[in-house]
Structure 1
Amino acid sequence: MPVTVVAAARTPTGRKQQLAALLRHLREQSRWTQRDAGVAVWPKASPASGQNKIARLEGGNLGIDEADLRRLLELYAVTDELVVDLALGLQADTSQRGRWSGFRSVYHPEVYRQFIDLEEDAELIRYVTNERVPDLLQCTAYARAEFERGQGSADRLAENTVQATLDRQQRVLFRDNPARFHCVLSESSIRRVQGDEDVMREQLLHLVTLSRYPHITIQVLPFRPRRPASSVIAQQGILERFALLRLATPGGPGDFPAHLDFVFTKTGNELTCDDDVARYERIWTNASENALEAGQTWDLLGEVAADFGVN
């Protein structure tokens, strides 16, 4: 059976998800149930515990040591050395030790760190956002303006957060072979003042500059659609904030899927990984189809900039 092997993910979270997808695919191909596979690999565990371990492993929520991984591959009758080496390579480099120190320590809880890692590994990133410009598109002044200048630890946390945002932009938007990035912004996010008019002018110009990169697409969903639309999202504006992340799989045998899709939703300051990717794909399509095209978005950004005093 042909095997295609491509580059592993950059981050431990990405590699763990790639390994999870590979092991799930191998188990399904070999026709083992999660329960039976768990009992075979961990015979001293109860059937329910063994099944839970396999389920968590295939969900990317549990690591596995090399000895257990080899037993699992043997159970699934994996003899192709490319697949064995691929699985062992993904398993060997999933440690997060020391990665979330310094200014990166601002990313917590764990779900946020998973999001940051998968964002860095993604080949396609799609955002729908309202009320504020998302972190990846913020200029430095706009990022700083979110925090009132404090004292001591509060001020250090604010600066660490800004530095983490700038670092994240470099790792996602300006790395070698960057992801395709497509964002639909509500008009409210470009009119809502953060900081002052000088900050907003700089931010609007920054959006125009970013949108001229070939891998970055920015659209604005206006308050009043400039073309007929019966869609609720076009009439009422963006009601949800979420990110769709597409991660390439590392390759594998047979009909192994080419990519993995994740959706993260945000309510207030709480980030959640949602299982209902299909629902958010539909919302994304609706938002993108009813938003302004790139040229129209540039025109609107210019109009709003003029409202803030740009000649």
Structure 2
Amino acid sequence: MGLRPNPTQRQRRLGIELRKLRDASGMNGVTAGAYAGLGPQHLGHIEAARTGIPEEKLRALLAAYGCNSKTKAEALVAMSQSTGKGWWSDYRKGPIPPSARDLAELEAMSAGHRSFQWMHIPGLLQTTEYMRALFEGGQPSAPPDDIDTFVNFRQKRQSILTRHDPPDFHAVIHEAALRMRMVSTSVMRRQIEHLVEMARLPHIRVQILPFDADVFPTGFGTTFVLFDHVVPELSTAYVEQPVSSPFISDQEQYRRFADSFQYLTRAALDPIDPNVEPEFYKRRDSLALIQHLLYTM
């Protein structure tokens, strides 16, 4: 069997975690591989995600490395045994890039999503007409069929929020995203109304970060999503950039983003609570700002 030319994010993450465990144990490739009947070159290919590893050999490595957490061990085994196939597999041919398919798989696997957006409404909370307007405006030369594919792919990603076991979803959205005129006023109005409706779901929390929030802006110049795993050290940060959108598995860097998100939640207005009548609000909150925006549109 040949080596993988383009490993997925999940496969790369498994290799990274195995290398971290081996380094922590102080073993070299020869010693570690011997515990599982693997040559050092083969083990190197596994750690580089160029090839897979059978379950029994993986468990032998984990035991040799002193991985005493049963939860973590089972999570790593699950990562290794997963076929990676899901609805996103139907998009291997076409305009959807591999990173977007990796994102869909990561979303499906995560127990919680924490998102900061300052220019757009988070993709999982977008209406169809809003996302279509963004795709058409951002890629004016794209064929109509490609735009349809982009929209369809994002719609399918959104299904995780309405499945029987949805992840906890917490979004901090800058006020700028609500005032942008990249879409028509009518589209933006319906998008904001949809945002409030989605906030009615018990697992979705939405906060608005107003322009006059007391935050230092240069620390949050990029949007990001934190994907929380049931095993905290397997959590991932996804940083959106124009050129590339890297998945960050380094836990020190992940914690920096997690700390930033906590800072943003403290600076943002109280979460949208559409179940409370507006006249009962006695302080500034996210719903009050949204109602003001809808009134002035």
- TM-score bracket for this pair, using the shorter chain length: 0.7 to 0.9
Aligned twin of 2:280:
none
Unaligned stretches of 5+ residues in structure 2: 1-7, 273-284
TM-score of the pair, normalised by structure 2: 0.74
1:261 matched to 2:235? The reply is yes
- Return the match for 2:97 from 97, 105, 108: 108
State how 1:30-179 maps to structure 2 within 5 Å.
31=25, 33-35=27-29, 36-38=31-33, 40-41=35-36, 44-45=39-40, 49=41, 52-53=44-45, 55-56=47-48, 62-65=51-54, 68-69=57-58, 72=61, 91-96=80-85, 99-102=88-91, 105-109=94-98, 111-148=99-136, 154-170=143-159, 172-179=160-167
* Structure 1 CA distance for aligned equivalents of residues 177 and 93 of structure 2: 26
* Structure 2 CA distance for aligned equivalents of residues 272 and 16 of structure 1: 12
Higher relative contact order (CA 8 A, sep 6+): 1
Is contact 1:118-1:247 (8 Å) kept?
no
Is contact 2:86-2:105 (8 Å) kept?
no
* Structure 2 CA distance for aligned equivalents of residues 218 and 76 of structure 1: 41
- Inter-CA distance 271–16: structure 2 relative to 1 (3 Å threshold): closer
Aligned twin of 2:244:
270
* Structure 2 CA distance for aligned equivalents of residues 190 and 268 of structure 1: 21
- Inter-CA distance 97–292: structure 2 relative to 1 (3 Å threshold): closer
Offset at residue 268 of structure 1 (A): 2.0
1:200 matched to 2:197? The reply is no
- Inter-CA distance 188–86: structure 2 relative to 1 (3 Å threshold): closer
Is contact 2:9-2:247 (8 Å) kept?
no
* Structure 2 CA distance for aligned equivalents of residues 299 and 204 of structure 1: 12
- Inter-CA distance 204–159: structure 2 relative to 1 (3 Å threshold): same
* Structure 2 CA distance for aligned equivalents of residues 86 and 179 of structure 1: 17
- Inter-CA distance 89–154: structure 2 relative to 1 (3 Å threshold): same
Is contact 2:239-2:245 (8 Å) kept?
yes
Greater shift, 207-216 or 293-302, is seen at 293-302
- Return the match for 1:285 from 262, 265, 286: 262
Aligned twin of 2:279:
none
* Structure 2 CA distance for aligned equivalents of residues 13 and 216 of structure 1: 26
Task: Determine helix, strand or coil for the equivalent of 2:212.
Answer: coil
Task: Determine helix, strand or coil for the equivalent of 1:131.
Answer: coil
* Structure 1 CA distance for aligned equivalents of residues 188 and 147 of structure 2: 19
* Structure 2 CA distance for aligned equivalents of residues 74 and 284 of structure 1: 35
Aligned twin of 1:301:
290
- Inter-CA distance 120–83: structure 2 relative to 1 (3 Å threshold): closer
Task: Determine helix, strand or coil for the equivalent of 1:202.
Answer: helix
- Inter-CA distance 195–104: structure 2 relative to 1 (3 Å threshold): farther
TM-score of the pair, normalised by structure 1: 0.71
- Inter-CA distance 128–104: structure 2 relative to 1 (3 Å threshold): farther
Q: CA RMSD in A?
A: 3.9
Aligned twin of 2:228:
246
One-letter amino acid matched to 2:230 = A
For these two proteins, the number of residue pairs brought into alignment is 271
Offset at residue 91 of structure 1 (A): 3.9
Query: Identity of counterpart residues, as a percentage?
Result: 24
Is contact 2:15-2:47 (8 Å) kept?
no
Offset at residue 305 of structure 1 (A): 1.4
Is contact 1:222-1:292 (8 Å) kept?
yes
- Inter-CA distance 178–85: structure 2 relative to 1 (3 Å threshold): closer
* Structure 1 CA distance for aligned equivalents of residues 122 and 240 of structure 2: 11
State how 1:194-233 maps to structure 2 within 5 Å.
194-225=182-213, 229=214, 231-233=215-217
Offset at residue 160 of structure 1 (A): 0.9
* Structure 1 CA distance for aligned equivalents of residues 183 and 35 of structure 2: 60
- Report Cα offsets for 1:50-101 as digits up to 9, x if no partner: 56345446xxx752145744764686799xxx99998766644325498432
